[in-house]
Structures are given as structure tokens and as C-alpha cells.
Amino acid sequence: MKVLLINASPHKQGNTFIALNEVANQLEKNGIASEIVQLGVQPVRSCIVCTQCKSKALGHCVFDDDICNRVIEKMADSDALIIGSPVYYGQPNGAILSLVQRMFFSAGYLFQNKPAASVAVCRRGGATAAFQTMNMPFQMMNMPVVTSQYWNIVYGREQGQASLDSEGLQTMRTLANNMAFLLKKIHSDGEPQYPARETWQPMHFIR
């Protein structure tokens, strides 16, 4: 079993990495593999709803000039997802929102039913709003949202300060323990056991 963690911070070894690395280390103690992917500083396209991924049944985004399809490939070999982002003006980094929207739209089948969680890292405020924003897409993809002892928030401004947030890091370890517990339950019989789903019945309110 493997958990894919996405670091949306432009700082490779910043506070968001510290939070996600705490999760990764605790997952390892539970016998769960993990990989942290760094979005970095290169641009990430936004979804333009061209629907080429759907009409051509590509299974990935039609645009292949950024990290999106590389992350989709990694998700094919992963059993769960955790995204972490710094908080900008009460919101997650725009790059992670663009990435998630394109991944879920073009390759949603790779994310269905897999446990997920988000982590928000901030200086002072806005973390709960960012945290809620990152969790919203999971619920539309039938992804069980993994909880912790508190909202998944770690505090720190200057690089490295997150390591001083003892409660925040404990929250990360609890998140990892809960993720490992759920994954082991899902895979207890070898093949993943997911609930049966009804066929989607979309509708619009305008008739």
C-alpha cells in the first residue's frame, strides 16, 4: 500500500514539507509506503473544460506541458492521497487547486474510493477556510476523508518554524495512523473492498 503526498508549496524544504514529512515518517512506522511530490515553481495550467480528455477517453489531461499527467501516473500506483498547501489569503496555493481540478476531471477513475486528506500550513489565520476548500473535491469523488485529532493544520511562518508546532505535528502523526488503519481495513482481504455505487443520475435545476 502506498500514499501519494503532494506538496503545493514553492519551497521544497519549507513548513509544508515538514508537515507532510511527519505524516510520511509515521506512515512508514505503520508499514505504509509513501512518496512526496513537490509541485515546485513551474506554472500549472488551469482546466479550460475543453473536454478532450473525456471525448477522446484519454485517461489524462490533453495538456502535457506541466506536472499534471506525471502526478496522475503516480496516482495509478497509489492507494490514497494527501495534499498539503500553504495558506495564501485564506486559500490554498492556486497551483494545487488547478492540479486537483484537472486530475479529477480527466482521470477521476484513479481517485474514486481512495482515502484522502488535506493539510493546511499557515502563519496565523485562514487555515480552516483553506482546509475546507481542499477537502471539497474529495467528497465529490467518493474518497473517504481521513480525520485526525484536530483539523489538519500546522503553524509556522519562517522556514523550519513548523517543527516547533508540537501539537500540529502530533496531529500529522494521528492523521497518518488513521490513514494507515483505514487502508489496512480496506485491503484486509487482499483486493480493495469498496461499497457498490449507484449509476450517477445527473440533473440540472433549469428545465
User: What are the residue ranges spanned by the domains of the chain?
Assistant: 2-186
Residue ranges of alpha helices (H) inside 1-110 are: 15-29, 52-55, 68-76, 94-107
Residues 21 and 109: their CA atoms lie apart, in Å, by 27
Contact 60, 74 (CB under 8 A): no
Predicted local confidence at residue 191, as pLDDT: 87
Q: Which helix (H) or strand (E) holds 155?
A: strand 153-155
Contact 81, 137 (CB under 8 A): no
CA 4, chain centre distance (Å): 8
Among the listed residues 95, 79, 107, the one whose alpha carbon sits nearest the alpha carbon of residue 42: 95
Predicted local confidence at residue 41, as pLDDT: 93
Q: What residues in the chain have per-residue pLDDT under 50? A: none
Predicted local confidence at residue 204, as pLDDT: 86
Residue ranges of alpha helices (H) inside the chain are: 15-29, 52-55, 68-76, 94-107, 127-140, 166-186
At the fourth CATH level, the homologous superfamily of domain 2-186 is Flavodoxin domain (3.40.50.360)
Predicted local confidence at residue 4, as pLDDT: 98
